[in-house]
Amino acid sequence: MVGGNIISAICMWLITLYLVRVNALEDLGTLSLVQSLGLVFFVFCTFRLINVQISDVNKEFSEVDYYFARVLSAILCISLISIYILFSNYSYLIKICCLVYAFYYALMILKEYFSANFQINKKYKNIFISNSLNGLLSCLGFVIAFYFTEN
């Protein structure tokens, strides 16, 4: 679990390093702003359901309940970010980036459901692979998108 988180964190660091290397400091500022804004809503919308799901040894709630709660949380996350940027004075580019990150954070909320199941079933290798792929694909996708759009 920790190894996958380390790989994911290194990949996020590589994104910032890439932006510095290509001298895209304004874009680096935009990325930092968008990530910061999105994380506020992401942390609020996860409700730390992963802890509840993992500690539910008596199976008080079904798998459908946990998944449905995650879907609602993801929708809430996208909605709150959308409402926030609707009334903000940010540029059009920053608003679009916030929406993209809203969907990214929504996917991370849904991913927590599977991570919790992996942990319950002691499939730690799957958590490592999932977190590693999350970081690697995010990094690769960002670099490719930035390279082709130059923005």
Tell me how far apart the alpha carbons of residues 38 and 138 are, in angstroms, rounded to a whole number: 15
Helix axes 2-21, 124-149, angle to 10 degrees: 10
The structure tokens 């130059």 sit at: 150
Tell me the mean pLDDT in the region 26-45.
93
pLDDT beyond 80 at 150 = no
Mean residue pLDDT across the chain: 93
| pLDDT for 151 beyond 90 | no
Q: Confidence class of residue 57 from pLDDT cuts 50, 70 and 90? A: confident
Q: How confident is the model at residue 60 (pLDDT cuts 50, 70, 90)?
A: very high
143 Cβ contact partners less than 8 Å away, ≥ 6 residues apart: 15, 18
pLDDT at 53 over 90: yes
Is the pLDDT reported for residue 1 higher than 70?
no
User: Are 46 and 111 in contact, with CB atoms under 8 Å apart?
Assistant: no
Model confidence at 51: pLDDT above 80: yes
Q: pLDDT tens, 88-118? A: 999 999 999 999 999 999 999 999 999 999 9
pLDDT per position as a tens digit, 119-142: 999 999 999 999 999 999 999 999
